[in-house]
A and B are shown apart, each in its own frame.
Chain A
């Protein structure tokens, strides 16, 4: 099954400046694996060292957040589009301040 993966602007430099790529995949996880196999440099910006999607990286299958589907096991079908959208976060010190 051919799935289109949209590559966010900041990561295009690691993907030959392409804005999308087609991968063959039966699940979202397989599609993301296909993406990072094609463009290995992308991997560390999407996944932590222990292989989990980074918390600020959000993945959508045709505009549906995969967290509300079956996460990386969400099945894909021919013609689906996967988008990767970051949440932007940061802060001045290491520990949250409760008050």
Chain B
């Protein structure tokens, strides 16, 4: 993993995540981030000119499967994960991470988030206060699981895949 983590996303896709957060409020929304991890490419002719380490090309919104505590929990089943992977693969992409909302809570990962995460994935969190989206942040779990590194979100031009 490089020192400078930067996640590229178009304004349109960032808006779609916020809209999903509004739609689901006061419950948590969730979905998969489909894109390309440039760090993982064996041969990337544009490596020098890349401004971001990975880029979101499309979203795969999912249903929050937690029906016992959906205001402060979300869950995606292994079948959903496989569906997201299939959707990514069909577009020549990978599942590079996941997004979810924190209704009436800050856009920071909780210990519960950390216990249920893997490194490498980008975890976008959008805070939604009283139905209005606020901060959007992205995080990557540290290799030793001790905490998260914040990943800078960089606005990109919309990709042709959008």
Separation of A95 and B160 alpha carbons in the complex (Å): 42
Partner of A88 from B76, B94, B111 at Cβ < 8 Å? B76
Known: A87-B78, A96-B72, A97-B72. A10 touches B119 (CB 8 A): yes
* Distance (whole angstroms) from the CB of B110 to the closest CB of chain A: 6
The answer to whether B86 has its CB under 8 Å from any CB of chain A is no
* Distance (whole angstroms) from the CB of B75 to the closest CB of chain A: 5
Partner of A89 from B73, B109, B119 at Cβ < 8 Å? B73
Residues of B within 8 A of A89 (CB): 66, 73-76, 112, 116
- Give chain A's interface residue range (CB within 8 Å of chain B): 20 to 34
The answer to whether B105 has its CB under 8 Å from any CB of chain A is yes
* Pairwise interchain contact B119-A90, C-beta atoms closer than 8 A: no
Across the interface, name the chain B residue whose C-beta is closest to A91.
Answer: B73
The answer to whether A36 has its CB under 8 Å from any CB of chain B is no
Residues of A within 8 A of B95 (CB): 9
Separation of A95 and B111 alpha carbons in the complex (Å): 11
Partner of A11 from B66, B109, B120 at Cβ < 8 Å? B120
Known: A9-B95, A10-B119. A88 touches B30 (CB 8 A): yes
* Pairwise interchain contact A96-B73, C-beta atoms closer than 8 A: yes
CB<8 Å pairs between A and B, sample of 10: A10-B121, A41-B143, A58-B78, A85-B82, A86-B118, A87-B78, A88-B80, A89-B75, A90-B73, A90-B123
> B residues within 8 Å of A by Cβ?
1, 28, 30, 40, 66, 68-69, 71-78, 80-82, 94-95, 98, 100, 102-105, 109-113, 115-121, 123, 143-145
